[in-house]
Amino acid sequence: MRIPIFDDLRDAGSRILEQAGDLAGGLLESDVRLGVTGLRRAGKTVFVTTLVENLLKAGRLPFLDVVSSGRLQGARLRPQPDPDVPRFDYEGHLAALTGPDPHWPEPTRGIGQLRLSLRYRPGSTLKRTVQPVTTLNLDIVDYPGEWLLDLPLLRQSFAEWSGLTLTLAARPPRDALSSSWRGWLATIDPAAPAEEEVARRGAALYTDYLHACRRADTLLSLIQPGRFVEPGDLKDAPLLTFCPLPGSQRGRGSLWQLMEERYEAYKTSVVRRFFSDHFARLDRQIVLIDVLGALNAGPAGMADMKRALEMSLEPFRHGSAGWLDWLFGTRIDRVLFAATKADHIASHQHTSLRVLLDRLVGDARGAIRYEGAAVETMAIAALKCTESVVTEHEGRQLRCVRGVPVGRDRPTILFPGEIPDNADAFPDGQERPYNFLPFRPPADLARDGRGLPHIRVDQALQFLLGDYLE
């Protein structure tokens, strides 16, 4: 004989247990937002593609603990949480790399996002007792490096920014690139009444100068404002119609006042909005840098990259001295600076590449560590295109790389040269002593189904996400 009250109690108990299980599952399911950006030609599109492909396949991640310990059960692409952000075209970029005619994918021009859900068994006995399997939702936010370099504008007045920009533009190699714009500046009076056509002419010449910096063989990295070269839907908008001006004339109705107002509008509507909507929500960040390209560019390119790296570190200052904290309440607590294209040099040179990057960011990194954020440097290759080989030349052994250089159709053995271990290692009288060549993606990249070959992407993931996957 069944007693209804006991049935009701049993059903209520089942519901409570089910709700408790759902609550425990919710507590153990976590989200992490990883920002991926890079200075010019650093290969962030390929990095994100490799990261996603290898997490989906889990075949080439021996230094990611959740994989090496056998705790990762699988990964799956899921709908991204922000429907108003363009989706990162992982499938299209993977097809470009692994198709019949492998080629480098087109770089992304704006922000992109992708969500990857990782199911894994916790390493902690306590966590496994509550729930044997849990999920980490990894939201990857990919954005141009110029947007990161815009952040210091938030604490600079128009006069301060103008002075710094004009000083930099007058120095080699930027002086030649900016000559038309600076020549125009010499013909106008910033205190004169504002005229729209004058403002548009100045902005156009300044934008041409920024594009010239971007195309320069000297690999100039410091480009501000970022939306001048990647305007997106802001093309021809008045808030992109300004440029730095000499002096400090703030007369009512003057050209100076018009430019200053548009500069402040850019900060409010573009810079502040991007960092409040996206950057301030990041948990971890990786910044990719083409250090080898800067070495090819010579001392000027290396010095410009050093300035850009120092500026890119400013957003990650935490603690009482962190000016970004009170602006947006940032929570980024781990930052990785990665020198890319490590496969373009012999493997024994990877340490020297990392040491060189470490010295480029060393001073600012120390301050950030003091204020609470973990900052590391690493030499990686998002896609391994070469093999290290040893050859004999004139009676001595050389460590070289073998791959297919861009513009050629067959494997070639090259001696790429030695990497200096400091930022000033350019021989006297030799402006460009280095010539590190780019390589094509290898054929049959996806033939074994284990993911894309790389160098230290798994170690980068361990630093950035390892604690979330414990």
- What end-to-end distance do the CA atoms of the chain give, in Å? 50
pLDDT value of residue 9: 46
Separation CA 289–CA 340 (nearest Å): 6
pLDDT value of residue 310: 86
Phi first, then psi: what are they for 70, rounded to 5°? Answer: 75, 15
Q: In 3-state terms, what secondary structure has residue 375?
A: strand
Q: Whole-prediction pTM value?
A: 0.88
Domains of the chain, by residue range, sit at 11-143+278-385+443-469, 150-274
**How much helix, strand and coil, in percent to the nearest 5, is found in the chain?**
45, 15, 35
pLDDT value of residue 20: 44
Question: How many other C-beta atoms can be found within 10 angstroms of the C-beta atom of residue 196?
Answer: 10
Task: Say which CATH architecture domain 11-143+278-385+443-469 belongs to.
Answer: 3-Layer(aba) Sandwich (3.40)
Separation CA 247–CA 270 (nearest Å): 25
Cis? peptide before 225, omega within 30° of 0: yes
pLDDT value of residue 448: 85
If the chain, 470 residues long, is cut into consecutive pieces of 10 residues, what is the mean pLDDT of each piece?
49 47 57 93 95 94 96 96 95 95 89 97 79 95 93 93 97 96 97 95 97 89 93 87 89 94 96 91 94 88 89 65 48 90 95 92 70 85 96 85 94 86 58 82 86 97 96
Integer CA distances (angstroms), 420 to 123, 274, 355, in order: 41, 37, 9
Contact in structure between 380 and 339 (CB atoms under 8 Å)? yes
